C-alpha cells in the first residue's frame, strides 16, 4: 500500500510549441466508457484558434523551406518517440474507450507504422506527382507540387490516436503547418501526442492541437481568412455542406477522407508551373 498522492496530469492545449491553458479558462469533462470521471481537458475558444493560426502562419516559412529529407526524418522521429511511450498511449486508449488491451495495442502500433509510412512519402511525393510538360516552344516546363500554407483539421472521434495521426502526418509532410481539433470525447491521446511532438524536433507552431467542441470551432476554421485548407474528415457528414459554403467565401480548399492515401498529401498541395528557356 503506497502513501503517495496521485499526481494527475493537467491536459492543456498545444500552441506554438508550448502548452497554454485556453484563454477562455473553460474546461469540460472526459469520462470513461463506463461513465466515471477521467480528466478535465481545455474547452478551446475561437481565440485559441486565432492564436494557433498566428503561430502556424509564422512557422510555415521555415517548415516549408526545410528539405524533404529533413521533414521525413522529423516524421520518423515522431514515430520513434511514440514507440518509446506506447504503454502510456495504450493505457489512455483503454481508459477512455474501454477497448481491450489487444485492440489498444493494435491502434498504437498502427499509429507508429502510419507515421513511418508518411515519413517515407516526404522525398517522393514531388517526384511522383510532378511533371515535365510538353510545350510548343523552346522551354522546359515543369510542374511541381508545393505546400499550401496553413491547414486546419478536425480529427475523427475514433480511433482517437490513429485518426489524429492520419490527419496530421499527410498535412505536415509536404510543408504545411497545421491547427487540428482533437477528438472531443477522447482528447487524452491527442494531448499526450503533443508531448511526443514537443520532443521530436518539430519546430514550434508547425503542429498546434486544440481540444474542444467541433460545432463551436469548425465554423471559425471555415471562415478564417488566413487558413488555406481544411480537412473535415472528423466532422459529421450532415455538417459538410454548411462548412463548405462558409469556406467558399475565402476560397478555402476543403476535403474529407476515408483512408490513408498519398492523395491526402496532394489534396493540401498546390501545383506550381515553371517555364525555363532552353539554350540560356
DSSP 235: S
User: Is residue 50 a contact point for other proteins (CB under 8 A)?
Assistant: yes
- Interface stretch with other proteins, choices 2-10, 187-195, 198-206, 218-226 (CB under 8 A): 218-226
- Interface stretch with other proteins, choices 49-57, 71-79, 100-108, 191-199 (CB under 8 A): 49-57
DSSP 5: P
User: Is residue 201 a contact point for other proteins (CB under 8 A)?
Assistant: no
Supply the minimum distance, in Å, between the C-beta of residue 278 and other proteins.
35
Write the binding mask 124 to 153 for other proteins: x where contact by CB under 8 A, - elsewhere.
Answer: ------------------------------
If you search the block for the grid coordinates 498522492, which residue do you land on? 5
Write the binding mask 73 to 92 for other proteins: x where contact by CB under 8 A, - elsewhere.
Answer: --------------------
Q: Where is 12: in which H helix or E strand? A: none
User: Angle formed by the axes of helices 188-198 and 86-97, to 10°?
Assistant: 160
Residue choice 223, 253, 255, 256 for contact with other proteins (CB under 8 A): 223
Buried (b) or exposed (e) across 160-187, using 16+ Cβ within 10 A? Answer: bbbbbbbbbbbbbbbbbbbbbbbbbebb
Supply the minimum distance, in Å, between the C-beta of residue 62 and other proteins.
16
**Distance between CA atoms of 190 and 168, rounded to whole angstroms?**
11
Where does residue 98 fall: left (phi above 0), alpha (psi -120 to 50 degrees), or beta otherwise?
A: left
Give the strand order in the sheet containing 229-231: 207-210, 177-181, 150-154, 229-231, 253-255
Complex with other proteins: residue 149 or 156, whichever CB lies closer: 149
Supply the minimum distance, in Å, between the C-beta of residue 102 and other proteins.
44
**Distance between CA atoms of 205 and 208, rounded to whole angstroms?**
6
Supply the minimum distance, in Å, between the C-beta of residue 225 and other proteins.
4
Q: How many residues bind other proteins (CB under 8 A)?
A: 12
Reference 228, options 210, 253, 246; nearest CA is: 253
- Interface stretch with other proteins, choices 163-171, 223-231, 259-267, 270-278 (CB under 8 A): 223-231
- Interface stretch with other proteins, choices 70-78, 93-101, 220-228, 233-241 (CB under 8 A): 220-228
Residue choice 133, 250, 261, 263 for contact with other proteins (CB under 8 A): 250
Buried (b) or exposed (e) across 49-59, using 16+ Cβ within 10 A? Answer: bebbbbbbbeb
**Distance between CA atoms of 11 and 240, rounded to whole angstroms?**
29
Chain residues binding other proteins by CB under 8 A are: 46, 49-50, 53, 57, 220, 223-226, 249-250
Amino acid at each position: 500500500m503506497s502513501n503517495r498522492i496521485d499526481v494527475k496530469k493537467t491536459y492543456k492545449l498545444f500552441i506554438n510549441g508550448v502548452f497554454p491553458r485556453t484563454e477562455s479558462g473553460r474546461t469540460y469533462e472526459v469520462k470513461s466508457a463506463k461513465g466515471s470521471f477521467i480528466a478535465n481537458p481545455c474547452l478551446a475558444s475561437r481565440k485559441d484558434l486565432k492564436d494557433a493560426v498566428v503561430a502556424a502562419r509564422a512557422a510555415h516559412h521555415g517548415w516549408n523551406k526545410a528539405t524533404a529529407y529533413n521533414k521525413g526524418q522529423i516524421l520518423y522521429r515522431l514515430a520513434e518517440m511514440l514507440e518509446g511511450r506506447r504503454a502510456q498511449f495504450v493505457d489512455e486508449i483503454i481508459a477512455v474507450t474501454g477497448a481491450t488491451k489487444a485492440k489498444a495495442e493494435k491502434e498504437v502500433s498502427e499509429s507508429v507504422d502510419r507515421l513511418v509510412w508518411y515519413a517515407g512519402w516526404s522525398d517522393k511525393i514531388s517526384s511522383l506527382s510532378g511533371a515535365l510538360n510538353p510545350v510548343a516552344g523552346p522551354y522546359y516546363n515543369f510542374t511541381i507540387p508545393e505546400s499550401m500554407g496553413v491547414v486546419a483539421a478536425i480529427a475523427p472521434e475514433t480511433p482517437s490516436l490513429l485518426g489524429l495521426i492520419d490527419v496530421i502526418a499527410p498535412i505536415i509532410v509536404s510543408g504545411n503547418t497545421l491547427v487540428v481539433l482533437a477528438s472531443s470525447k477522447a482528447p487524452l491521446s491527442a494531448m499526450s501526442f503533443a508531448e511526443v511532438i514537443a520532443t521530436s524536433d518539430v519546430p514550434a507552431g508547425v503542429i498546434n492541437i486544440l481540444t474542444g467542441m467541433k460545432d463551436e470551432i469548425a465554423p471559425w476554421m471555415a471562415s478564417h481568412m488566413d487558413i488555406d485548407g481544411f480537412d473535415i474528415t472528423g466532422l459529421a457528414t450532415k455538417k459538410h455542406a454548411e462548412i463548405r459554403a462558409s469556406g467558399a467565401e475565402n476560397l478555402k480548399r476543403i476535403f474529407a477522407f476515408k483512408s490513408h492515401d498519398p492523395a491526402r498529401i496532394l489534396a493540401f498541395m498546390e501545383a506550381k508551373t515553371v517555364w525555363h528557356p532552353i539554350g540560356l
